[in-house]
Amino acid sequence: MRSWGVLIVGLLLGLVGGLIFTWFVMPLRYFDTYPPMMAARYRQDWIRMATWSYGLDGNWERTQTRLLNLPPSEIAAVSTEALERAAAEGRPAEILQRIAGLALAYGASGPGVSVYAEGDGALALPATEQLPSPTVPLVELSPTETATPRPQPTPRSAAAAGTATPPALTMTDPISIVSQTLTCELEPILAISLEMSQTVSIRGRETQGLVGLPMREIWLIWDDGADRAITGLRPQKGLGYADFAVVPDRTYNLYIDSPSGRPILTLQVEPCPPAEGTGWVSRMLILREALDPLPRTTGDSPVPPLTVSETLTLSPTLRVLATPSVSATPSSTPSD
């Protein structure tokens, strides 16, 4: 055998022996490591915990130190995931805003992050961070949405009008109920969309648009309980959207922002009209806040209850649609 052949044999033997030694006899062991060196699952867990901790204490400097040298994309992804979980669990708005601020600072995007970061939590960001303008859907106002006090119902179906009586909607403050849609469901819900009319300038033209109002508390109170929802938890349904599961045989009072004063609406879950089959009436309310709201009514001064008319239409499917034709706004409330 020639010398180079012997050299290759030696090389192979050394390589095999060396790999057995370095991989199995004395594998590499790490000491005094730090978070960026950890395996992905531990690294992501570290980020997750740091995110939760920031949500609780709001200590931005410490959080930055904890996340030093970790990949921003990983931080963005994990903090967005934490935000979604926190939102789904109905965590306090302050925590959601902080987590959204953190996610945004590390480059996360998406409707959820925009919704929460646009609140006061944006202050939690370092001063150098600039929040992008939130993307809000603009909805053109149709002429039928012009406020008209005390509208008259226009039943299209005598049967439906006779069986599905809309509840009296009372208002006490600058938030008005502009429409109500009823559907027949086996598991009824009360869905709310809180919005505000705004004048926006698009290419120099002023247009009236509707924007959803996120991060507002909606309270549903009944005799021996209460439930709270925050608008915007499901941005895909609208920034001002929130909903509640409701059950029959309860009288609910609906409040915005705080469960005090007079309710926006008092309602009960009613059975569907017999013609529509079994089930309960679910409601989708569109509430609109005036641009320059008046102070809330705190006393019991008589406020004439306003009734929103509904046009009830029977559809061939199991649905009762009640599309209101007008809104009801107290005359004392400044118009948009």
Q: Whole-angstrom Cα distance, residue 126 to residue 102?
A: 9
Helix (H, G, I), strand (E, B) or coil at 330: coil
CB of 63 to other proteins, least distance (A): 10
CB 48 to other proteins: min, Å: 7
Q: Which residues bind other proteins (CB under 8 A)?
A: 1, 3-4, 6-19, 21-24, 27-35, 37-39, 42, 45-46, 48-50, 52-53, 55-57, 66, 95
Looking at beta carbons only, is 28 or 127 nearer to other proteins? Answer: 28
CA distance 169 to 297: 16
Contacts of 128 (CB under 8 A, 6+ apart): none
- Token readout for 2 is 């020639």
Nearer to other proteins, 41 or 205 (CB): 41
DSSP code, position 168: P
Give the tokens for residue 291.
Answer: 């641009």
Q: What is the CA radius of gyration of the chain?
A: 29
Task: Give me the least distance between CB of 228 and other proteins, in Å please.
Answer: 18
CB atoms within 10 A of CB 319: 18
Nearer Cβ to other proteins (12/186): 12
Closest CA to 290 of 147, 87, 111: 147
Closest separation in Å from C-beta 190 to other proteins = 28
Least separation in angstroms between CB 51 and other proteins = 9
Q: Which is nearer to other proteins, 42 or 120 (CB)?
A: 42
For β-strands 241-245 and 189-202, DSSP reports them as antiparallel
| Closer of 3 and 142 to other proteins (Cβ) | 3
